[in-house]
Amino acid sequence: MLSLICRADAVQEGGEGVRFELPTEHGAQSAFVVRFEGVARAYLNRCAHVPIELDWLPGRFFDDSGLYLMCATHGALYEPATGRCAGGPCRGEGLQPVAVEERDGAIYLKVDP
């Protein structure tokens, strides 16, 4: 089952991401989708170092270079393509991916029934 997150053009390469709520058995959790290397990629909005949201302003997930996702609080860096820790206090722990699908000009959350 698919649930609409946003229009595909709302997520530009290396630009701001779109935050959305991910329904879970423990209640809704904050997640986000960004575009990197032309692909929409989504993760829980939770730093692996300390479980706080990454963005310092809503939708601001990339560092200044546009090459890494960065936790604004402690500076942990993550590879946008995989969510793997790229440096800082995440010490090898990565972001938790969220399944999304892009089609027909939109980005959808893949929801298990």
Q: Give pLDDT tens digits for 82-96.
A: 999 999 998 889 999
The pTM of the whole model exceeds 0.85: yes
Does the 2-110 domain belong in CATH 2.102.10.10? yes
CA-based Rg of the chain, rounded to a whole angstrom?
13
Q: Which residue has the tokens 């546009």?
A: 66
pLDDT (tens digit, 9 = 90+) per residue, 42-85?
999 999 988 899 997 889 999 999 999 999 998 999 999 999 99
Which pLDDT value is given to residue 112?
77
Residues 6+ apart with CB under 8 A from 107: 4, 5, 6, 7, 8, 10, 11, 18, 33, 40, 100, 101
Domain extent listing, the chain: 2-110
Quote the Cα angle for 63-46-67, to 5°: 20
